[in-house]
Amino acid sequence: MRVGQWLGRLDVAGIQQAAWVSIGLSTAFVIGVSISFLLFPQQVIGIYLDVQNPDNAAVIALALPLLLLAAIAQVLDGFQKAIYGSLQGLQDTQVPMFLNVLGYWGVGLSVGYILGFQLGMGSKGLWIGQSVAIAVVAGLFVWRLRRLIAQRQGHHPLLAMPPSACD
């Protein structure tokens, strides 16, 4: 929202500051959540299962190693979502949608399938595939955000135009 407000004011420096502050704060928050996954895995699993019930031991044994992957995915996803929010503030929605499809369906699904089924990693391989997709999409979003900001620096008439008109 702040990025969009600065866009309305035609202030590139404000856009940059709002984008990077929101990305930094969001990432810091999800790092905190991820640390809680790592420090308190039994309690996190206990939200969903009775960890004292021996009938749940097999599920808990599967869930514990996945929490490390979930912690990593959490950080990547928070970072990616914050960048996506900045792109939306710049009124850029079509290209990010395409990048999402490319990253999740092209890269993530392929990596997850290969690791999970072809290499026999099962659920861990699927989670790694998802995490790779999130990381790829986040990287593409950073590239896109930097590109849009660079296009707008020194060209105030472009600032008021939707990104598709700048491409």
Closest CA to 15 of 139, 147, 138, 135: 147
Q: How would you label 92-120 residue by residue, b for 16+ Cβ within 10 Å and e otherwise? A: beebbeebbeebbeebbeebbeebbeeee
What pLDDT does residue 157 have? 47
Q: How confident is the model at residue 165 (pLDDT cuts 50, 70, 90)?
A: very low
What pLDDT does residue 154 have? 63
Residue 59's Cβ-count burial label (10 Å; 0-12, 13-18, 19+) is middle
Q: Where are the domains of the chain?
A: 2-162
Query: Mean pLDDT in the chain?
Result: 91
Closest CA to 87 of 14, 12, 142: 142
pLDDT digits (tens, 9 = 90+) for 99-148: 999 999 999 999 999 999 999 999 999 999 999 999 999 999 999 999 99
User: How many angstroms separate the Cα of 65 from the Cα of each of 75, 98, 125?
Assistant: 17, 32, 12
Query: Does the pLDDT of residue 89 top 80, yes or no?
Result: yes
- 100-103: long-range contacts, CB 8 A cutoff, minimum separation 24: 100/137, 102/140, 103/133, 103/134, 103/136, 103/137, 103/140
Average pLDDT in the 50-57 region? 94
